[in-house]
Structure 1
């Protein structure tokens, strides 16, 4: 899931105050049944087939329900009656579904899952997330236009019975089912809205704990109200959740200190340092990271590994994480974050395995070696001086981050000139996916707690591989982990380690840091904890 750095700066404080003042009485703002949260940006879409970022995923998690739901770190049954075990050598999953309802009172059926999944892999939908269905029977062939959508390995065995067939066993399949990309969809709403589906709440129906109301895609604030039709509504304490887009750090702090918002998220830099002594300060180590992606299709010189290695080794990540980010980031040596995946036999963290230790030198600050590699790469590609643009977000924190990167690279790599382009989040998404960039600071958050959720996106044909990095040996290892070695946990683990080593040595993408999300949360808010897929489960959140 695309993980964007949007540190708190959209509305001036006086305008924000007007927005808040228009949202109800003083008693409602501090009500035990209403939770007010800052958001780092707007919702780009509420279409589960089209969403690619964590903001959309969070709001889909709030308003929709899939087969499973994470409660803390525990995967629990949701619409499925239980977390099922596969049959047929790990290739067949059969789900018996609860009798649940959409917010309009219509039943949620197995056919709603069939419709949603087929729609996501249908090439006409052009979902950037269709790749995550790889391994489900015929998914890749359907997405490539080589098979009809009705051949996808999912079928309704009855109104409340669903069966999924895989091409090969997928060890992490059950954890995938908690992802918003696999939620059901109400066909009449989708087809009536057409291309506008997911861009406004009017006409949408929901089957999750909350309903999104009176929202359009450009709104800087939105409200979700309790869905009384939700199958587990008795467990939901909150009656209303309000989100406000806050990008300016001072605005956010003033609103939090005035108790106008209950949770202020994604603090960084000077602001994080300033409030780190608050009793309500917390730091969530996320299964997400940020990295540099090179447009290797547009520029041949970015295909030179020495140039990419030089750029990586020219960056002092310790200064970046401590001085610029305010210790809200951890130093990354691989594209896979620390603390997410562990060896099935030894329980060693994936990133600490011996296989990867020799490649860590490519992410260590070494300006002397960087200059040497840079000169060699420039000579090999026939370049003299290089000029390119670094694309990033338009938030205050992101601007400071990119200014730091600009300074590091121009200082340590002779003849390099960098222009900064800081644009709104949605613009950066659009520019990245359409290849309108030279180098971009981007990020990824785990969709499920397995290394392949990160490694998959750098395979040659992956729709999220915006830089078009390509290495046949890397592709073969990822494919092997999903096919011939899928049921051999040791062989699969080694495949993923070997692939990570290749990606790290190539610096196909340059890891910058693992995200530590700094937040301020009122002490009366309970059970607000991050799940393994990077979202928060608001079903069990309550205010004392």
Structure 2
């Protein structure tokens, strides 16, 4: 007997009433269509921004948040997470319904009648190809670790089997079957990640290494299609009329301006040239909170800001050195001085909003601040001197110079670097040089190991602790620390197939403890999101984990 999971159809989510069959009221600038009782503006457009240019829109090769913001809108995952009454609910997307066998090892997805932006039908084979390409070692995908739970996934990714032996197949054009190595408790959460997005084999092969590098080098099957991409300036998408649910997509155009300087963002929002923004500056938070016609929302985000160390570096190969730099940080002072107390000091790797399932929030089950407990009263300078002795570097910290690399050239990042120059000098007595690079250069250098200590943020891919923990497995490659720990890898492997939630949580706890003890990464701050949007914008996401993109957004009363 099969276990059936029926999708929640999006047309049932949004209350739609048609006052007439189309038509605009030119005098008032409104249309004759109402949604949730709101009369839609005749012109449906939305202006937002990214703080950096995406490295690529090839979902197999990219893993930055900038590209994900675009991919969520131009590509259609098998499922999406929608926001209903403050909760996230998995709903239909590329698949209209899905089911598993009794033990959850074989999943069958029945696809919607969807088309690519060039009019070609979307088939199960397109999802098969996207998954196969993610796990094909020739692709060099940094997202492959997400889906090695698929049967033979790890062997394929290691080059030990061909992609044809992967547990994914097209039963027919509208039926996709995925077989797992073993029951995987969080498998459905992977179906709206970039690791399982569909791709057109003919288009990928046509453009080769330049696939996804330009607006013209990609086809789309999501609510929108990419219209133009002026690098480091703006990305424009327009409504995809070939999309299966196009009748419930209201925006005709979305524009992302590429704006690095936050002051420019704030001024653009204040003047109305942007419809939304977020802020980490108290004066702007206060200003926008009191601004007429603006709605604000706040939640603890699933993003950690952290330092990471190159464990192949001559200095940071030493655990005591890594501990010294990790323990030297006064996170309360960072949060106060750099972030004006709007975020939260971070003493864990897995963030607060993450849940394990029925037992609720992970942090409430295992403890809020494990790093604080590990640090105890240990003196970071003594740890530094111990590490220097182990490396034969003498006992004078002033002879140590460390490069802190950041992925941006903004004044804020310069201020951030200067803060740590002073703090590491005060606490450890070492010298810090700040290296600022554009995001693409930063990624290239850190991925190749051409760095010592870096600063970055990471946003969780899906709602389970393993989403944060598995990125530190030795074969993940997501954060290029080059750290390896066999016991850690084993714990994550066990957790990935453990169906008992309490037992799985204990495995997570043990793995996180190892990670925080050996310090290849150094959590600094958990983000608290302070968002602002003009009140004429409706249906923007206001909770973590939402993967609807701009699909449900519309404007009324601009």
TM-score of the aligned structures, taking structure 1 as reference length: 0.88
Matched, 1:498 2:513: no
CA RMSD across the alignment: 2.3
Shift of residue 527 of structure 1?
Answer: 1.4
Mapped contact 2:306–2:525 kept (Cα < 8 A): yes
Partner of 1:131: 145
Matched, 1:295 2:306: no
Matched, 1:507 2:522: no
Encode CA deviations 1:431-487: one digit per residue, 9 max, x unaligned.
11111110001221111111111111212222224111222221211111124xx22
| Corresponding residue SS for 1:302 | coil
| Corresponding residue SS for 2:347 | coil
| Corresponding residue SS for 2:139 | coil
Partner of 2:390: 380
| Corresponding residue SS for 1:215 | strand
Shift of residue 297 of structure 1?
Answer: 1.0
Cα distance in 2 for residues equivalent to 1:420 and 1:219: 23
Moved more, 380-389 or 64-73: 380-389
Shift of residue 326 of structure 1?
Answer: 2.8
Consecutive aligned runs of 4 or more in structure 1 exceeding 6 Å deviation: none
Matched, 1:153 2:164: no
Q: Note closer, same or farther for the CA distance 1:434–1:494 as it changes in structure 2 (3 Å cut).
A: same
| Corresponding residue SS for 1:410 | helix
Moved more, 186-195 or 149-158: 186-195
What does 1:42-441 align with in structure 2 at a 5 Å threshold? 42-72=53-83, 73-82=88-97, 84-87=98-101, 89-215=103-229, 218-265=231-278, 267-268=280-281, 271-272=284-285, 275=288, 277-278=290-291, 279-299=294-314, 301-342=315-356, 344-345=358-359, 347=360, 349-354=361-366, 359-362=371-374, 369-384=379-394, 385=397, 386-392=400-406, 393-414=408-429, 416-441=430-455
Encode CA deviations 1:201-253: one digit per residue, 9 max, x unaligned.
2142211111111225x241121111111111111111110111112233222
| Corresponding residue SS for 1:430 | helix
Partner of 1:527: 539
Moved more, 374-383 or 434-443: 374-383
Cα distance in 2 for residues equivalent to 1:532 and 1:148: 37
Cα distance in 2 for residues equivalent to 1:306 and 1:431: 25
Query: Equivalent of 1:477, from 483, 491, 495?
Result: 491
Shift of residue 380 of structure 1?
Answer: 2.7
Partner of 2:25: none
Encode CA deviations 1:85-129: one digit per residue, 9 max, x unaligned.
421522110111112111121111111111111112112211111
Matched, 1:541 2:553: yes
TM-score of the aligned structures, taking structure 2 as reference length: 0.86
Cα distance in 2 for residues equivalent to 1:343 and 1:117: 26
- For structure 2, the 5+ residue unaligned runs are 1-28, 31-40
| Corresponding residue SS for 1:105 | coil
Shift of residue 355 of structure 1?
Answer: 5.9
Cα distance in 2 for residues equivalent to 1:124 and 1:304: 32
Q: Note closer, same or farther for the CA distance 1:352–1:313 as it changes in structure 2 (3 Å cut).
A: farther
Moved more, 146-155 or 459-468: 459-468
What does 1:8-19 align with in structure 2 at a 5 Å threshold? none
Cα distance in 2 for residues equivalent to 1:254 and 1:164: 48
Cα distance in 2 for residues equivalent to 1:452 and 1:318: 27
Cα distance in 2 for residues equivalent to 1:371 and 1:275: 43
Encode CA deviations 1:136-179: one digit per residue, 9 max, x unaligned.
11122112111111111100111111100111111111011011
Shift of residue 428 of structure 1?
Answer: 1.2
Cα distance in 2 for residues equivalent to 1:400 and 1:118: 43
Partner of 1:36: 47
Partner of 1:516: 528
Which protein has greater RCO, CA pairs closer than 8 Å, 6+ apart?
1
Partner of 1:21: none
Cα distance in 2 for residues equivalent to 1:219 and 1:526: 28
How many residue pairs were aligned?
A: 507
Shift of residue 332 of structure 1?
Answer: 1.0
Cα distance in 2 for residues equivalent to 1:424 and 1:31: 39
Encode CA deviations 1:55-79: one digit per residue, 9 max, x unaligned.
1111011111011012122111112
Mapped contact 2:210–2:217 kept (Cα < 8 A): no
Cα distance in 1 for residues equivalent to 2:548 and 2:279: 14
Moved more, 287-296 or 327-336: 327-336
